[in-house]
A and B are shown apart, each in its own frame.
Chain A
Amino acid sequence: MPSDPTKLQKTKDIGIPSIAMCVARVPNSGRLIFGSSDFKLHEIDVFAEKPQPTPFGGEGHQSYVTGVVLPAPNVAVSGSYDGQLIWWDVEKREPTRKVKAHELWIRRLVISPDGKTIASVADDMQCKLWNAETGEMLRQFSDHKPITPHDFPSMLHAVAFSPDGKFLATGDKVGHVAIWEATSGSKVATVEAPGLYTWDPRQRRHSIGGIRALAFSPDSKWIAVGGIGQIGNIDHLDAPARIEIFDWQKGERKHELNNDKFKALVEDLVFDPSGKWLLSSGGAGDGFVTFTDVETGKPIHQDKLPMHVHQLALNESYDTVFAVGHHKIAVCEFKATEPPAASEPAKP
């Protein structure tokens, strides 16, 4: 069933006690596993009558959980500001393996399309690849300077696999993106998006921003980079949500999109498998979703969300988005035609 972004409507809005920083969805279900500011992973079935998050137990993380992936049925892997990766038995909700993965804060985890490799990025400016099954580190690489040009610690927030699994992109605070060949770990290209980094040398003398989201186009040829535009008053997230799209092989910037409707940080980017639209989401005081026409770079449809969104998960047919963020989880549908039973949640 094709999707239609203009039909976007919010169908669920669930309050949660903590800030959800990351999410992964159990395939073909409304079951979300999200990592949060209470240092825990939680599971929630958003299609349940009264959705309630259930925390995972055992000795878990020591800080905000900022990345979660599901490499196999019943397996979740999470990463946290505590530098650890933890493998979990989802049924039992208990840890099965812990790996001290990074020296500094892990900012994001992604999993390769074949589910075999997990990539983590952290503020030690390293990208590390892990065997999703054994927990063994496969390799690490970095093209990101630990110190910004203004002598402050830099940060490495974003990582993405290409849909064909061949490439991996990493993006840092100052707007530098490196593209890697996933199997060899060799750098194949770089892209610069300095417009996502605001350094204020005069008024407030620190910086804000950076690359917060990366996504490859379905054909893997383009890469979208998201964050926030140049901020005047860096005390606040007070600039247009900003996306740049590059043909990374040619080193050409195809689009530079400054959202005139939402002043916010882009926290996540998802391409439609057909390559027609790019979904972006994030927030400041509250949140937003924007569908952009990839060809023209013009917004197709956009709307407010009730909370600052930290990560998205989409369903298999790419017509339902599960957004997690500041004390809320929201579900939005954008189906092409109104399916007869869609308003009633499927009972397991």
Chain B
Amino acid sequence: MTLSRRGFLNAAALGTAGTFASDMTRLDLLRQTSWADEVKKQGKRVILLWLAGGASQFETFDPKPGRPTGGPYRAIPTSATGVHISELLPKMAARIQQTTAIIRSLNTKNADHGGGATIMETGRIKDPGIEYPDLGAICAKELGRLDSAVPDYVSMYTSTEGRRKGTSGFLGSRYAPMFLSESMQPENIRRLESISDIDHQDRLALRDLLAKKFTQNRHSDSLGSHTQAYQRVRGLMASEKLFDIEQESTEIRAKYGPTQFAQQCLIARRLVEAGVPFVKVARAWWDSHGENFETHRELCADLDHSMSVLLDDLRDRGLLEHTLILTFGEFGRTPNINASLGRDHFAAAWSATLSGCGVRGGACFGKTDEDGHKVADGEVGAGDLFATIFTALGIDPNKEYHVGARPVPLSDFGAKPIKDVLA
């Protein structure tokens, strides 16, 4: 049986017969995308500020001043008329109208760190039958280039608590994150001094030559990925300097300041500027079961400053309209203030923000009830948030991947983008 390429693709898409469809494990990497789609996505970047451990919506973007659940902090007006946020975020308050949309009505149902994180990383509930890629891997695939010389998914998580690397799931290791945990320099990106640059290059070339003989008559995607991985080595090594903030002017470095999170935000900016499509900066650990207010006083100061400087810097460089900045973690925190003046895990009514690319600044979507126990208006789940993110980036949220015969849409079945927060 012979099929034209077009026919072949159709057969694959429809899941009808043919050699392709009978191979159930294969991921369909051959889907065509229209030219218009490509243009929409061009040059789009994402920075995810992952608030690991679960930041309190009360002390950030959904304050309830004066309510029994509200805690001691005041709400302050923002540059967006009628939108108030916690006084712990004064710098962000001045930037809401210009840059940021707030979603206050997330109900993601799972208030367990691992389970919640899986949902918020992949935009859907864990399914034992399939390993979903996370947002970073999807964006790397959708926004990156296959032969990219820069990494296309960089994930920073330096604290050890709740450390998660991220996963490319069924998209395969090609889209796995370059993971920075112990140091802000990626591992193994620098040539050892014991080998000259020429030798380093020559041995790779010889390796490639010998490998070709082996791969010639053997068919396997995995085999191809092995060749490709070695072919990307030199390019990635050239991106080493992107991780070095010493390359920035003293003035810029002073603006970002001394905290590690801020410095990682600066690296994130350097990376997106160089064309890295997805950077995740995890700020751990917000899990304030005790001393919630003191914890948030520290961490919100860090978030407020770092995020504001990052937004300003991106704006100054003309990058903000192409870069989507996200803040959320695995869940929010309870309305109830416990005896240790802490707040516990809570996923039933919490907040996330989107800033920059494709976002309607100053938009504030959804409402929680007066004490923040439940979503009162505009309840959305992780899938809807992901559909919104994809739409903001010009990616069709209904686009499907195929894992074997299973169609898997980018955002969960039934998820809808939140139009109110989109530009």
Contact = CB atoms under 8 A, between A and B. Distances in A.
Interface of A: 17-19, 37-39, 62-64, 81-82, 105, 123, 151-153, 155, 202-208, 210, 234-238, 265, 283-286, 307-308, 326
B243 interface: no
A17 B301 CA distance: 31
Given A63-B74, A153-B301, A206 B295 contact: yes
B339 A307 contact: yes
Interface in B297-318: 297-299, 301-302
Given A205-B158, A283-B339, A153 B298 contact: yes
Interface string B325-368: 00000000000011111100000000000000000000000000
B128 interface: no
A210 B339 CA distance: 18
A210 B293 CA distance: 14
A38 B371 CA distance: 13
Most buried by A among B161, B285, B294, B301: B294
Contacts of B232: none
B294 A326 contact: no
A233 B68 CA distance: 28
Given A19-B337, A62-B66, 13 more contacts: A81-B72, A153-B301, A202-B160, A204-B287, A205-B158, A205-B283, A206-B298, A235-B53, A235-B285, A236-B290, A238-B290, A265-B340, A286-B339
Contacts of B338: 285
Contact of A285 (B298, B337, B340): B340
A19 B338 CA distance: 10
B74 A207 contact: no
Contacts of A151: 257-259
Given A205-B260, A284-B339, A152 B74 contact: no
B323 interface: no
A123 B87 CA distance: 14
Contact of B339 (A62, A82, A235, A308): A308
A151 B263 CA distance: 13
Nearest to B69: A37
Nearest to B52: A204
Nearest to B300: A153
Interface in B223-268: 257-260
Interface of B: 53, 65-66, 68, 71-74, 158-161, 257-260, 283-285, 287-291, 294-295, 297-299, 301-302, 337-342
Given A39-B66, A153-B298, A82 B290 contact: no
Question: Chain B interface mostly helix, strand, loop or mixed?
Answer: loop
A304 B161 CA distance: 32
A282 B301 CA distance: 27
A326 B257 CA distance: 38
A155 B297 CA distance: 9
B265 to A, nearest CB: 14
B68 A37 contact: yes
Given A82-B74, A236-B340, A286-B339, A152 B290 contact: no
B288 to A, nearest CB: 7
Contacts of B258: 151
A234 B288 CA distance: 8
B73 A205 contact: no
A235 B289 contact: yes
Contacts of A284: 290, 339-340
A205 B284 contact: yes
Contacts of A123: 297
A281 B159 CA distance: 33
B287 A235 contact: yes
Contacts of B285: 203-206, 235
A206 B299 contact: yes
Contacts of A19: 337, 341
**Which 6 pairs, one residue from A and one from B, show the smallest C-beta to C-beta distance?**
A204-B285, A64-B72, A152-B298, A237-B290, A81-B72, A308-B339
A208 B297 contact: no
27 contacts: A37-B337, A38-B68, A39-B66, A62-B65, A64-B71, A81-B73, A123-B297, A151-B257, A151-B258, A151-B259, A203-B161, A204-B285, A205-B285, A206-B295, A206-B298, A208-B290, A235-B289, A235-B290, A236-B342, A237-B290, A238-B290, A283-B340, A284-B290, A285-B339, A285-B340, A307-B339, A326-B339
A63 B72 contact: yes
Contacts of A153: 297-298, 301
Contacts of B161: 203-204
Contact of B284 (A155, A204, A236): A204
A7 B300 CA distance: 46
Contacts of A308: 339-341
B96 to A, nearest CB: 22
A155 B72 contact: no
A211 B73 CA distance: 21
Given A155-B294, A308-B340, A202 B301 contact: no
Contacts of B71: 64
A120 to B, nearest CB: 16
A152 B337 contact: no
B82 to A, nearest CB: 20
Contacts of A237: 290-291, 340
Q: Quick one: which of A38, A123, A236, A307 has the most chain B CB within 10 A?
A: A236
Contacts of A286: 339
A38 B288 CA distance: 21
Contacts of A64: 71-72
Contacts of A38: 68
B184 to A, nearest CB: 14
A208 B291 contact: yes
B339 A205 contact: no
Q: Which of A82, A205, A237 has the largest count of B CB atoms less than 10 A from its CB?
A: A205
B159 A37 contact: no
B332 to A, nearest CB: 15
